[in-house]
């Protein structure tokens, strides 16, 4: 990609130009055991050249395991940074969400200590000093990718906000990467800084188009120790295409919205929409693009590829997010029509984009994909088999707990290595609970949609089995429920404790949940 201005033109506070350094010169700022915060959110807006130079230094000097950092980042970042750091044994603790293959391996082998947290809570708790309370509550170093620096020395971020504003606020020292290889994102951010109790104020956001902060992050320039030029593009996330299963789920959701509008429970242009990441989320947005609904607003975490078509169609009028999450092909389209999209997209800190107060006030509709859910509507989003960390809860809990309608969707059945019907998305009891029955209104699979609002647990269970379970598992789940009612004498949520995890145990042992198959 061609350059878009010089470093000198992007750094408008000329006093700071005396701090310009090479990536290699910044290695000296990193020490073993440091608490380091970085910008970035779902591989966009993260620092690239300084972390890569640090990795090169560790590899060249055989420092694997001898220079380990505690990393605090809004969400996942590029694999060329955090996966490589994991491979070089450079990470001790990592909060709160990740998608790296090598990073995941290190977490699940016990080499990296990961903590998982709702994204809105992570940002505020970082500022509260909870994660670094044993070392003063701050961060030793912040590494931030930026588009520019203002005349006053305030930082203008690039393609993500995440928790970069909190990192800038609490870090003792800051390294700023100015990315001149990308167009400037100046004007696309609305940075609302929160305080700590008892001085916190109401977040005065009543409309998704409303600006309540500044287009830059207020910055104490005395903390900036280095400015580095970068020309590296974001490492786009590969996009999984929509399959028939995902499309059927999307169709069920669009049909549900039509019913809600007709009943008067939703306005004709619905309410602000939140959509998680992945192929099902993309299919849902694609379904809305071809739906009869008009003048739609999005209030979500990340902007994925299908949101571009959504905006191009004229159906979507405005999008709030905290980051982009585009494929390489999506980035090509983004930059091609950047002038148009720049006026339709506003990026906020994750503490605002995922804030319970704001989600409830705006009446957002939450739509997220769990790994599985059970017959009483508890959902597992994070731990396969109840033990193996996948990515993290992300922001799904922020929305599921607080949305006007809280919806979760997943396939009713997935293939295992040995069985095309080996893994059921509906189970008697999830082995790990991220979202409780108290938070979820609607569950959806390609089989159908279960509207659980106003239902007792047993009514919910029958509705979930009837509407959402795959035919391969429906008879077993029905039999399990009825035996549970009989065995407990009709308890409020009957479970057979000696059997409730048989599906998961058999999957681990025999490669399929169908333990009744020989």
* Positions marked active-site: 301
- The three-point CA angle 354-358-359 to 5° equals 65
Dist CA 99 CA 41 (whole Å)? 11
Half-sphere exposure of 426 (CA within 13 A, CB side): 36
Peptide bond into 48 cis (omega under 30): no
91: part of which helix (H) or strand (E)? strand 91-95
The first and second tokens of residue 214, run together, are 């500044």
Query: What are residue 229's DSSP bridge partners?
Result: 178
**Phi and psi dihedrals of 92, rounded to 5?**
-95, -60
Dist CA 219 CA 15 (whole Å)? 14
User: By three-state DSSP, how is residue 379 classified?
Assistant: strand
Closest CA to 16 of 24, 27, 8: 8
Half-sphere exposure of 285 (CA within 13 A, CB side): 33
Dist CA 119 CA 396 (whole Å)? 9
The first and second tokens of residue 275, run together, are 């959509």
Dist CA 24 CA 494 (whole Å)? 61
Dist CA 217 CA 149 (whole Å)? 9
Q: Where are the beta strands (DSSP E) in 191-289?
A: 224-230, 273-275
Cβ contacts of residue 330 below 8 Å, gap of 6+?
Answer: 236, 239, 304, 305, 308
Dist CA 168 CA 163 (whole Å)? 9
CB 373 within 8 A of CB 380: yes
User: Which DSSP state fits 406?
Assistant: E
CB 271 within 8 A of CB 364: yes
Dist CA 482 CA 176 (whole Å)? 61
The first and second tokens of residue 395, run together, are 């922001």
Closest CA to 302 of 283, 321, 329, 281: 321
User: What is the chain's length?
Assistant: 518
Q: What is the largest CA-CA distance in the chain?
A: 77
Q: Is 262 exposed, middle or buried, given 0-12, 13-18 or 19+ CB atoms closer than 10 A?
A: exposed
> Tokens 């006053």 correspond to what residue?
152
> Tokens 């690039």 correspond to what residue?
158
């Amino acid at each position: 990609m061609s350059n878009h201005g010089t470093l000198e033109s992007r750094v408008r506070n000329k006093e700071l130009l005396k701090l310009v350094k090479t990536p290699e010169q910044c290695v000296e700022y990193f020490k073993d055991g440091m608490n380091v915060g970085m910008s970035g959110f779902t591989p966009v807006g993260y620092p690239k050249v300084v972390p890569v130079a640090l990795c090169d230094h560790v590899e060249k000097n055989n420092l694997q395991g001898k220079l380990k950092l505690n990393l605090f980042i809004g969400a996942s970042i590029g694999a060329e940074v955090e996966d490589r750091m994991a491979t070089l044994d450079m990470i001790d603790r990592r909060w709160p969400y990740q998608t790296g293959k090598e990073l995941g391996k290190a977490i699940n082998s016990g080499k990296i200590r990961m903590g998982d947290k709702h994204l809105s809570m992570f940002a505020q708790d970082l500022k509260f000093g909870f994660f670094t309370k044993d070392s003063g509550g701050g961060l030793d170093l912040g590494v931030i990718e930026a588009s520019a620096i203002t005349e006053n020395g305030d930082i203008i971020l690039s393609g993500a906000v995440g928790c970069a504003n909190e990192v800038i606020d609490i870090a003792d020292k800051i390294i700023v990467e100015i990315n001149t290889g990308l167009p400037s994102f100046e004007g696309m951010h609305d940075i609302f800084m929160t305080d700590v109790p008892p001085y916190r104020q109401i977040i005065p956001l009543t409309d998704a188009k409303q600006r309540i902060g500044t287009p830059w992050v207020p910055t104490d320039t005395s903390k900036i120790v280095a400015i580095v030029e970068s020309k590296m593009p974001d490492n786009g996330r590969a996009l999984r295409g929509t399959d028939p299963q995902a499309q059927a789920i999307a169709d069920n959701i669009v049909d549900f919205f039509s019913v809600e509008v007709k009943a008067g429970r939703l306005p004709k242009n619905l309410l602000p929409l939140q959509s998680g990441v992945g192929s099902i989320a993309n299919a849902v947005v694609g379904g809305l693009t071809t739906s009869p609904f008009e003048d739609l607003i999005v209030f979500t975490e990340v902007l994925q590829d299908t949101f571009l078509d959504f905006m191009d169609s004229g159906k979507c009028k405005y999008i709030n997010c905290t980051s982009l999450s585009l494929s390489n092909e999506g980035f090509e389209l983004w930059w091609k029509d950047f002038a148009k999209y720049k006026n339709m997209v506003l990026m906020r800190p994750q503490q605002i984009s995922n804030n319970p107060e704001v989600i409830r006030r705006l009446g957002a509709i939450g739509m997220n994909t769990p790994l599985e859910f059970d017959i009483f509507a508890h959902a597992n989003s994070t731990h396969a088999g109840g033990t193996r960390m996948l990515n993290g809860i992300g922001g799904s809990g922020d929305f599921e707990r607080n949305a006007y309608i809280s919806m979760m969707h997943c396939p009713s059945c997935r293939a295992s290595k040995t069985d095309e019907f080996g893994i059921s998305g509906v189970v008697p009891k999830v082995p790990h609970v991220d979202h409780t029955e108290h938070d979820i209104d609607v569950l959806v699979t390609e089989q159908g949609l279960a509207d659980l609002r106003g239902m007792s647990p047993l009514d919910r269970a029958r509705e979930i089995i009837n509407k959402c379970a795959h035919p391969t598992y429906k008879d077993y789940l029905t039999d399990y429920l009825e035996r549970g009612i009989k065995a407990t004498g009709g308890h409020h949520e009957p479970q057979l404790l000696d059997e409730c995890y048989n599906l998961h145990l058999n999957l681990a042992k025999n490669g399929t949940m169908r333990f009744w198959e020989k």
